[in-house]
Amino acid sequence: MQTKVLGGPSIAEQTSSEYLSEMSEGIFLMEHHAKMIWQGNQSMIVKSIGDDSLIGNSYYLNGGNSCYGVLNVLGKKQLGLADFEALSEQHRMSNDERIVVINADLGKATHADKFRCVCPERFFEVGIAEANMIGIASGMSEYGYKVVISSFSSFLTGRYDIIRCSLAYPNCPVVIVGSHSGMAIGKDGVTQMGLEDVNLMRGLPNMQILQPSTYIEAKRITEYVINDDKLTYLRIGRQPCVEVFDESYQFEFGKGNVIVHGLDTTIFSSGCVLEQCMEAADKSQLCANLINMPTIKPIDHEIIMKYANKSNLLVTVEDHSIVGGLGTAVAEVLAENGCSTPMIRIGINDAFVESGPPNDLYKKYGLTKDAIVQRVLSNV
């Protein structure tokens, strides 16, 4: 395998075993090589890597510190970067000593290590012990700390009973960052995929659920929750996402926002599927409204009913089971208001998905732009 490093005085080629490590994150650089490449070059083009869908894409090294570097598709950014960059910026601006981050072994994959680089004295590593991490977070929050805990969404929400008893029942103002949600973790398989996490967290009293769709939205949401006093599940996808907002964007808790204005079909989406939904909504034969829903609980009743009353078809799209997620939340609003507008839910149809390259999984399970268009047109 070969990687080509671009930039600097010359173009150098090195074997991927020297520069790339195919870990669970797929496109991480090894720690010491990341530092070396960052100092010399900031752009790469991948000639060959484990996920063939990445071949030929241009990448840039994102991070800029001595802790690690991450390759991202040019023009897109991983949302996990935003959370801990926002926390680091909050620390720099306010030196808020209440903020602490607890990590369960996956700091590089979740990007929690970014906070460790800035504020190591308030970063706590517990190892592969998510249950202990939740208990520690509960106790620290009782003493006035604003605690952020981080791991893969499947590992965190798999400790449901501990979240229920230690965080939700005493209503602790902890931020649970569940990363690598959905199918984008690909070949690591269903044990690593958070596909039922929203369903689990929605049923808990005192729990609010937020899911950003872009890097800027993720930063704004993080800035909001770190100054909020509520228990929050912050759901983060793994894949780099296209940016649709500028720096002036302001997150409004509990509100959806219109991304595309269309005619008489309305698509509601949340999270990293926004790009596919935008491309689908723009198709001339569809011409749909597209509503981004960064707050899943509490759901925005007003915008749902506004577009239900002016649409002939409603569609929800999510990288999650259609049981208990965004689609269920929207359907509950429609039922409670006696609305008869037809609705379809696009997501994982009550199944455990296979392992494979993310692009293949999205195609197989109907979350590509073409699959969304076909599904909608078949119901118009």
Instruction: Tell me, yes or no, whether 93 and 214 share the same domain.
Output: yes
Instruction: Tell me, yes or no, whether 99 and 221 share the same domain.
Output: yes
Residue 98 lies in a domain: yes
- Count up the domains in the chain and report the number: 3
Instruction: Tell me, yes or no, whether 82 and 227 share the same domain.
Output: yes
Instruction: Tell me, yes or no, whether 95 and 140 share the same domain.
Output: yes
Instruction: Tell me, yes or no, whether 232 and 355 share the same domain.
Output: no
Per-residue pLDDT of the chain (380 residues; tens, 9 = 90+): 233 332 322 222 232 333 333 322 333 332 223 222 323 333 333 333 333 333 333 333 333 332 223 334 445 676 766 667 776 776 565 678 889 999 999 988 888 888 888 888 999 999 999 999 999 999 999 999 999 999 999 999 999 999 999 999 999 999 999 999 999 988 899 999 999 999 999 999 999 999 999 999 999 999 999 999 999 999 999 888 889 999 999 999 999 999 999 999 999 999 999 999 999 998 768 889 999 999 999 999 999 999 999 999 999 999 999 999 999 999 999 999 999 999 999 999 999 999 999 899 999 999 999 999 999 999 88
3 state SS for the chain: CEEEEECCCCCEEEEHHHHECCCCCCCEECHHHHHHHHHHCCEEEECCCCCHHHCCCEEEEECCCCCCCEEEECCEEEHHHHHHHHHHHHHHHHCCCCEEEEECCCHHHHCCHHHHHHCHHHEEECCCCHHHHHHHHHHHHCCCCEEEEEEEHHHHHCCHHHHHHHHHCCCCCCEEEEEEECCCCHHHCHHHCECCHHHHHHCCCCEEEECCCCHHHHHHHHHHHHCCCCEEEEEEECCEEECCCCCCCCCCCCCCEEEECCCCEEEEECCCCHHHHHHHHCCCCCCCEEEECCEEECCCHHHHHHHHCCCCEEEEEEEEECCCCHHHHHHHHHHHCCCCCCEEEEEECCCCCCCCCHHHHHHHCCCCHHHHHHHHHCCC
Residue 250 lies in a domain: no
Predicted TM-score (pTM) of the model is 0.81
Instruction: Tell me, yes or no, whether 276 and 348 share the same domain.
Output: yes
Residue 251 lies in a domain: no
Instruction: Tell me, yes or no, whether 285 and 170 share the same domain.
Output: no
Boundary residue ending a domain (181, 207, 242): 242
Assign residue 164 the CATH number of its domain: 3.40.50.970
Instruction: Tell me, yes or no, whether 191 and 213 share the same domain.
Output: yes
Instruction: Tell me, yes or no, whether 187 and 145 share the same domain.
Output: yes
Assign residue 334 the CATH number of its domain: 3.40.50.920
Instruction: Tell me, yes or no, whether 101 and 228 share the same domain.
Output: yes
Range of the domain at 309: 257-377
Instruction: Tell me, yes or no, whether 139 and 219 share the same domain.
Output: yes
Residue 248 lies in a domain: no
